[in-house]
Structure 1
Amino acid sequence: METESSTAITTDVKFYFFSTLISGAVAGAIVDVALFPIDTVKTRLQSENGFWRSGGFRGIYKGLAPAAAGSAPTAALFFCTYEGCKKYLSSATGHTNSPYIHMISASFAEVVACIIRVPVEIAKQRRQALSNRCERTALNILWTAYKTEGIRRGLYRGFGTTICREIPFSLIQFPLWEFLKHNWSDFTGLPLTPVSVAICGAIAGGISAAATTPLDVAKTRIMLADEVSGRKLGMRSVLRAVYKEKGFKGLISGILPRVMWITMGGAIFFGFYDLTSRILKFDRT
């Protein structure tokens, strides 16, 4: 009996992580492909070259290939880590809906996901914003970065800045999303459905996107920097330079497309994540 019970628990755990991986991959791929043009506009607005010299509205789908290839594994890795960490901490502390657990889980998941996200972002953003090098493929961009600057300064340029953007973003987004989900029925009197989960995701994403836009500006500038000028830049120096050059307006460059992109993306991402999770659980039963 104990052996059968242990086997059942192991099977449930394996299915739980499989469900999380698939749900995250599906949601991530759909969002990044569907909303890619908005992301391109945001990146070009934040570029040191400016929107029009970075391509304007031309070639709005440049960089789609690396984004599409990296979105599914990045999202899958994030959600598998997030849900696993949340499950472990909830079990260890006895608290199932603590914002601190959500914050810790999301922060740890962001660091893990950046192992894939950062090289993908470098390839994607250089394709999006550097129109004078538009003939180069994503693989060629990454290979050149590796040959000329190595792994840390080439493939993982801006890794620290990306984490400094992603962790504050997640510290706002995920506790807010979980709070809205948990209290949805109390607020509205309606059951929690994939549509309501999507609405919660849109609200949490939009607020988080607006609050962390200056960090996103710094990340974009750093990832494009060696192609533009060869400078070695840090977040503080970039933000100071942007503020000196363009004032507060420069620090929030691209805020409208960023908020629009992440609000819409949050709705699609969390909605499809919840829907896929429900389908997989239903199929299993």
Structure 2
Amino acid sequence: MSKKNGDKKNFSTHFIAGGGAGFTEALCCHPLDTVKVRMQLSQRSVRPGFLTVAVKIIKAESPLGLYKGLGAVLTGIVPKMAIRFSSFEFYKGLLKNKTTGNVSTTATFFAGLGAGTTEAVLVVTPMDVIKIRLQAQCHSMTDPLDIPKYRNAAHAAYTIVKEEGIRALYKGVALTALRQATNQAVNFTVYQEMKKRMKTIQGTKEGQELPVYQHLLMGGISGAMGPIANAPIDTIKTRIQRSASTEKGWSRLVSVTSNLIKKEGWLALYKGLLPRLMRVGVGQAVTFASYERIKMYLDLFSDKVPPPLPIRVK
């Protein structure tokens, strides 16, 4: 197989495996994200706990209330994860040692930064705006007479663009890019280093994969690192994306941050940290385990399927 065809094969493998992993992760972990958003949007001085918020949502809105915004997530998470993993491999290829082909820890870190920024600009920001607007609505999912402003992801996108313009879908893009970049830089670096060490310790042969439970464990540990570091960024971003505002850019950021700290205190910047840790930690565990497994099957399948024969023009 030529290098060009090999690159195409590798790109498509990472793209498909990433998309499949994202789909699996969304189905498993979305309720945790809904609870996190409700906690971040709460402006009460006495902060309700994770279980309190979850039970309140279930009682008032039925268990389906925990899945508000899932449509927006599913629409965006498949391309998001596909872009994350394929762009990470792309940047890693650019940053690797051209002589030895080795990828340093520093190169992995910057490849993660690039992947996080890329996914934030292309997919995550508009997806987050729509998702947060849907999750912020406190209405019953079982009462047909309780009609919310945004009926679903598509309707939310249409309404936001109609009332606020297309730029409203990119509210908080800088903070989202900063959050995603730092998340993925730490996430990929910790995961890749742990994976490398585990393979060395266990004497894993070239091309042989680690057990699923080890991918789950490594993904969970690496996924928990980012939220601890950038929780304030995520809380401020959520407040900015929640509602319409005439303020723009830096003035909006300063206004939201100062009001939050003044009215609710510094600890309010860490609202929703527990469900976010659970959401991202569990999410990354599921994501990496799914990604590695799907990628393994795709590699096995592609090795068994012969390349297409060249078309001969008479």
Question: TM range, normalised to the smaller chain?
Answer: 0.7 to 0.9
In structure 2, the residue corresponding to 1:60 is in which secondary structure?
helix
- 1:218 is matched with 236
Alignment of 1:76-115 (within 5 A): 76-92=82-98, 94=100, 96-114=102-120, 115=122
- 1:169 is matched with 183
| Structure 1 segments of 4+ aligned residues over 4 angstroms from their partners | 48-52, 229-233
Distance 1:182 1:256, change over 3 A: same
Cα deviation for residue 246 of structure 1 reads 1.9
Task: State the alpha-carbon separation in 2 of the partners of residues 225 and 85 from structure 1.
Answer: 35
Distance 1:61 1:134, change over 3 A: farther
- 1:139 is matched with 154
In structure 2, the residue corresponding to 1:131 is in which secondary structure?
coil
- Consecutive unaligned residues in structure 2, runs of 5 or more: 140-147, 205-209, 304-314
Indicate if the aligned counterparts of 2:150 and 2:159 stay in contact, CA closer than 8 A. Answer: no
Task: State the alpha-carbon separation in 1 of the partners of residues 264 and 102 from structure 2.
Answer: 45
Task: State the alpha-carbon separation in 2 of the partners of residues 45 and 274 from structure 1.
Answer: 33
- 2:294 is matched with 276
Task: State the alpha-carbon separation in 1 of the partners of residues 192 and 155 from structure 2.
Answer: 40
Task: State the alpha-carbon separation in 2 of the partners of residues 91 and 28 from structure 1.
Answer: 30
Indicate if the aligned counterparts of 2:133 and 2:243 stay in contact, CA closer than 8 A. Answer: no
Residues 180-238 of structure 1 deviation map (CA, whole Å, 9 limit, x = unaligned): 11112455x47433432221111011122222111110111111031xx6654644443
Alignment of 1:61-210 (within 5 A): 61-92=67-98, 94=100, 96-114=102-120, 115-131=122-138, 133=148, 135-152=150-167, 154-186=168-200, 189=202, 191=204, 192-210=210-228
Distance 1:9 1:137, change over 3 A: same
Indicate if the aligned counterparts of 1:225 and 1:231 stay in contact, CA closer than 8 A. Answer: no
In structure 2, the residue corresponding to 1:267 is in which secondary structure?
helix
Cα deviation for residue 63 of structure 1 reads 0.9
- 2:275 is matched with 257
Indicate if the aligned counterparts of 2:115 and 2:184 stay in contact, CA closer than 8 A. Answer: no
Residues 5-48 of structure 1 deviation map (CA, whole Å, 9 limit, x = unaligned): xx622221111011001110000111012111111000111115
Question: Over aligned residue pairs, what C-alpha RMSD do you find?
Answer: 2.3
Task: State the alpha-carbon separation in 1 of the partners of residues 259 and 27 from structure 2.
Answer: 32
Give the counterpart letter for 2:111 in structure 1.
S
Q: How many residues align?
A: 273
Task: State the alpha-carbon separation in 2 of the partners of residues 12 and 256 from structure 1.
Answer: 42
Give the counterpart letter for 1:247 in structure 2.
G
| Greater share of helix | 1
- 1:4 is matched with none
Distance 1:168 1:237, change over 3 A: farther
Structure with max Cα Rg: 2
Cα deviation for residue 106 of structure 1 reads 1.6
Distance 1:40 1:190, change over 3 A: farther
Give the counterpart letter for 2:123 in structure 1.
I
Indicate if the aligned counterparts of 1:214 and 1:239 stay in contact, CA closer than 8 A. Answer: no
Q: Could you state the TM-score of these two structures normalised by the residue count of structure 2?
A: 0.80
Distance 1:204 1:235, change over 3 A: farther
Residues 103-132 of structure 1 deviation map (CA, whole Å, 9 limit, x = unaligned): 221222222212111111111111111236
Give the counterpart letter for 1:113 in structure 2.
E
Task: State the alpha-carbon separation in 1 of the partners of residues 197 and 42 from structure 2.
Answer: 43
Residues 130-185 of structure 1 deviation map (CA, whole Å, 9 limit, x = unaligned): 23635532222212222233222x12111111012111222222211111111124
Task: State the alpha-carbon separation in 1 of the partners of residues 292 and 213 from structure 2.
Answer: 9
- 2:57 is matched with 56
Indicate if the aligned counterparts of 2:183 and 2:227 stay in contact, CA closer than 8 A. Answer: yes
